[in-house]
Amino acid sequence: MAGVLARLREQAKRDPKVIVFPEYDDDRVLKAIDIIKKEGIAKTVLLAPTTLDAKRQEEFAAKFFERKQAKGVTLEEARQTMKDTMYYAAMMCKYGYADGLVSGAKLTTAAVLRAVINCMSIDRRDAIVTSCFIMEIPDCPYGEQGTLIYADCGVIPSPSSEQLSRIASAAARFAKEDLDIEPRVAFLSFSSKGSAEGRWIDKVKEAVTMVKARNLPYAFDGELQADAALVPEVASRKLKDSPVAGKANVLIFPDLDAGNICYKLTERLAKARAIGPITLGTVEPCSDLSRGCSVDDIIDAAAVTVVRAQKRALNKHQTNEEA
């Protein structure tokens, strides 16, 4: 049976969207774009400083200045900013010249996020910019037939309880709305439902209480140790009446240390595919990349971004019809 990443590539081909790549000087990106074009996964735009449209730069600079002048940004500074391919790409997405962007093969996550946060629209449902990874693990019985969502592994170093609750909500939405996976969300800890005590555990417990208070249509539970979250036999010994324990497919890590370390260990030791960090919390879809990414990782990130753009276009169309 084809995995989720193969399914996403095929889904992208049915209605390829315009995806912009601001990293013109990375061989992996160039090779990935060639394959993406040949397979019809996306309509690609590769940006370089020498190919940016001067009229559009001026348009973007004026709009950026309008948004940022209250914070002391001058028009000339805005013009200089729009010479940066990453910022230009984010503005293309914001103003409808592209449907999504993929970046991060050379740029750090911090550099990608600065442009995204300063240029794109924030989804007010969760009011947070965070990230997740799609983990596709071969010969794995856990999660969704070996597919799991890990969050947050790339953005918020030490989330508060409130932030942790919103990370969980955003990751659950991504699983349901973009991947068509019914989310079962586990807040991970070194404790399972009071088996240990401490302020670290209290933070996770508070996050669970907060997200449940929002009455979202997804299953959340915690705090859970990783084996209790994933393994039915362990869950049956440690817990009772949990909608998530033993069958979690979305894992929420208590901090960036845990999330980043775990995704890299899973990728290397379990020979998993790790696609991301996929940016969550923006209206316009964006996929960041690990600087250790492969050509296939870039292709899959583009496919995910296309599918997310497809979903947003469909939702917008349905909203317009209802109006």
Does the domain at residues 122-281 carry the CATH identifier 3.40.50.10750? yes
Q: What percent of the chain has pLDDT over 90?
A: 88
Q: Which CATH number fits domain 1-120: 3.90.1300.10, 3.10.290.10, 3.40.50.10950, 2.60.40.1180?
A: 3.40.50.10950
pLDDT over 60 (residue 118): yes
Helices (H), the chain: 4-14, 27-39, 54-68, 75-81, 85-94, 109-119, 161-173, 199-213, 226-230, 232-238, 256-269, 295-322
- pLDDT for res 136: 96
pLDDT over 80 (residue 2): no
pLDDT band at 119 (very low <50, low <70, confident <90, very high): very high
Between CA 17 and CA 38 the distance in angstroms is 14
Strand partners, 150: 133, 251
Cβ 60 vs Cβ 86: under 8 Å: no
pLDDT over 60 (residue 321): no
- pLDDT for res 1: 41
Cβ 323 vs Cβ 162: under 8 Å: no
DSSP label at 281? S
- pLDDT for res 146: 95
Domain boundaries, the chain: 1-120, 122-281
Give the mean pLDDT of 201-226: 95
Give the mean pLDDT of 211-220: 95
Residue type at position 62: A
**C-alpha separations of 269 from 98, 154, 250, 262, 265 in Å:** 37, 20, 20, 10, 6
- Strands laid side by side in the 286-288 sheet: 43-46, 18-21, 100-103, 286-288, 273-280, 130-136, 147-151, 250-252, 184-188, 219-224
Give the mean pLDDT of 113-141: 95
Give the mean pLDDT of 302-311: 97
Cβ 22 vs Cβ 104: under 8 Å: no
pLDDT, mean over the chain: 93
Q: Structure pTM?
A: 0.92
pLDDT band at 318 (very low <50, low <70, confident <90, very high): low
Identical fold, 1-120 and 122-281: yes
